[in-house]
Amino acid sequence: MASGVRPPSISSMITKRGKYGLLLFLVLLSFFTIVAAHEAEPEHVLITETGQMQQYSIYGIMAAGSLAGVLVIITLLLRPRSNRIKAALFLGIIIPVAAATIYVTYATVYLNVISETGGPVHWHADFEVVVCGTSHSLVNAGGFSNLVGESLLHEHGDERIHVEGVLVQSKQASLQSFFRSVGGFLEQDQFVFPSEKGIINMRNGDICPSGKRGMVQVFVYRVHDKKMTQQKLTDYESYILSPYSTVPPGDCIIIEFDEPKERTERICESYKVALLRGDIYGG
């Protein structure tokens, strides 16, 4: 390259029409990225106050980041000479980023202050849904999402309930809350479960293929000092998950629709492995 000859700028290498086309593409890409993240949520999912504030924080960060990125590219492409335009572009970048940062900070502090747990938790519990002797898995996550449910209470295709975040009230970690968060329903005489094979809706008195009438029953395995016990829950929809990050000692919950029984032979795979390794004992 000859001495003193400046290399062509990005702006000079792109035609005016091409610049505006590229800008339009970037704006639309940012918009559809945010919309796609929102549409990835399952229908009929209950969003709690905690989950709503967390989602607003995520959307705010995405929107501010996308807008800032577009404005930076606009600045590089158009290279405005007017100080007013430069100031407008600068404020267009700074204000959304600052607003999103302030909201995320406020939401984090507010939820931690009012929460019963005094801050974020990370609990887990395994579960299995069995209808007339057949086990059913939860519906798979859709779109760009890797979870079914909301950020606070969800599942990752692993038959495990994840409680991740701040619990304003402990009842947010109830079994009923989990069902509602994934688009289902759980009451004393009925449950609705969005399985990978379709919606399962069973009510006490419904007839199984065997010809016998079934009922909704919930059993929970717990571990204390390495001893495993099984309990049939009566008020199961309001049952609060045990506060453990690993399973076991985190709960193993069996939701079963079948003939009335006092115990279940079903058990979560994590508990089976722990029994075989000798990490826990009992029955």
DSSP letter for each residue of 205-262: TPBPTTS-B-EEEEEEEEEETTEEEEEEESSGGGPBPPS-SSTTTS-EEEEEEES--S
Q: Which amino acid is at 72?
A: V
pLDDT score of 81 more than 80: no
CA separation for the pair 69, 102 (Å, rounded): 19
Note the pLDDT of residue 38: 47
Q: Token pair 């796609």 is at which residue?
A: 36
Beta-carbon count within 10 A of 14 CB? 14
Q: Which of 70-79, 212-221, 229-238, 247-256 has the lowest mean pLDDT?
A: 70-79
Please, are residues 255 and 129 in contact by the beta-carbon 8 Å criterion? Answer: yes
Task: Walk across the sheet containing 198-203 and list its strands.
Answer: 185-187, 190-195, 198-203
* pLDDT score, position 94: 78
What pLDDT is recorded for position 108?
66
Long-range contacts of residues 138-144, Cβ cutoff 8 Å, at least 24 apart: 138/182, 138/193, 138/194, 138/195, 138/196, 139/42, 139/182, 139/183, 139/194, 139/195, 139/196, 140/196, 141/40, 142/40, 142/42, 143/36, 143/37, 143/39, 143/40, 144/36, 144/37, 144/40
CA geometry: angle at 30 spanning 27 and 31, to 5°? 85
What burial class does residue 87 get, using C-beta atoms within 10 Å of its C-beta: 0-12 exposed, 13-18 middle, 19+ buried?
Answer: exposed
Q: Does the pLDDT of residue 206 top 80, yes or no?
A: yes
Determine how many CB atoms are found less than 10 A away from the CB of residue 116: 13
Mean pLDDT, the chain, integer: 80
pLDDT value at 34 more than 60: no
pLDDT bucket at 25, cuts 50 / 70 / 90: low
Q: Is the pLDDT of residue 233 over 80?
A: yes
Residue 17 has pLDDT above 80, yes or no: no
**Beta 148-149 vs 134-136: how paired, if at all?**
unpaired
The three-point CA angle 186-190-193 to 5° equals: 55
Where does the pLDDT of residue 33 fall: very low under 50, low under 70, confident under 90, or very high at 90 and above?
Answer: low
Q: What is the pLDDT of residues 127-157, one digit of tens each?
A: 999 999 999 999 988 777 788 998 889 999 9
Q: Name the band, by pLDDT with cuts 50, 70 and 90, for residue 165.
A: confident
Q: Is there a contact between 154 and 104 (Cβ–Cβ < 8 Å)?
A: no
Answer yes or no: are the C-beta atoms of 159 and 137 closer than 8 Å. yes
Q: What is the pLDDT of residue 130?
A: 97
Q: How confident is the model over 35-79, as pLDDT tens digits?
A: 444 444 444 334 455 556 666 666 667 777 777 777 777 777 767
Arithmetic mean of pLDDT, 196-225: 95
User: In this predicted structure, what is the pLDDT of residue 90?
Assistant: 74
